A and B are shown apart, each in its own frame.
Chain A
Amino acid sequence: GENVEQHPSTLSVQEGDSAVIKCTYSDSASNYFPWYKQELGKRPQLIIDIRSNVGEKKDQRIAVTLNKTAKHFSLHITETQPEDSAVYFCAASKGASGTYKYIFGTGTRLKVLA
């Protein structure tokens, strides 16, 4: 069945360093890949997304890359800050508009050490 694997499950970095979270999806028909950030006790919030016709997308300190051939995509956070500490989830969907069901990864707990 459809599956999204996410690594690592936990990640600790020093403030100012970069963090990279990687996801692999199984369904080659997937064409929309959002990333969510969830702070403790809060709802998941969309931080960036990418569609299959784009290889890379950047928004300030956050970037996402997509390799359709290898079926993997990654989240890159540069110049990390303590407020980046949270759980990050990747997801894959077949709906180009993002309205089809998502398959989520199991999450990465990012800790930014001051």
Chain B
Amino acid sequence: DAGITQSPRYKITETGRQVTLMCHQTWSHSYMFWYRQDLGHGLRLIYYSAAADITDKGEVPDGYVVSRSKTENFPLTLESATRSQTSVYFCASSESRKGQYFGPGTRLTVT
């Protein structure tokens, strides 16, 4: 589990501000994912990436931007935060024939 980390763990920001959530994995996994977790909705996929410079939208991509210039990093940016983006954000990574492994999460509050 220590192989995938997220920062910050907690963040409070104001509506309209840009905020970036970081995800770093040391396993050299090809695949990385961003989910948000809200009560009543479970885990919903925001974006995912199959390799460096390859990203694709998930179920709820609006208002988010991702990049993946290096295999080990997959930052998620909220360009102009809204209250509806208050959530717990989980990053995950995986490799062939194995399930996804989740980071510890970032609790984001937008005021």
Contacts and interface: CB of A to CB of B under 8 A. Distances in A.
Given A44-B90, A97-B97, A98-B100, A106 B41 contact: yes
Contacts of A44: 43, 90, 102
B103 A43 contact: yes
B100 to A, nearest CB: 7
Interface range, A side: 20 to 34
Contacts of A106: 40-42
Interface string A41-56: 0111110010000000
Given A43-B103, A106-B41, A101 B96 contact: no
Interface of B: 1, 30-31, 33, 35, 40-45, 48, 50, 58-59, 90, 94-105
Nearest 8 pairs of A and B residues by beta carbon: A106-B42, A46-B99, A43-B102, A104-B43, A97-B96, A99-B31, A104-B42, A34-B99
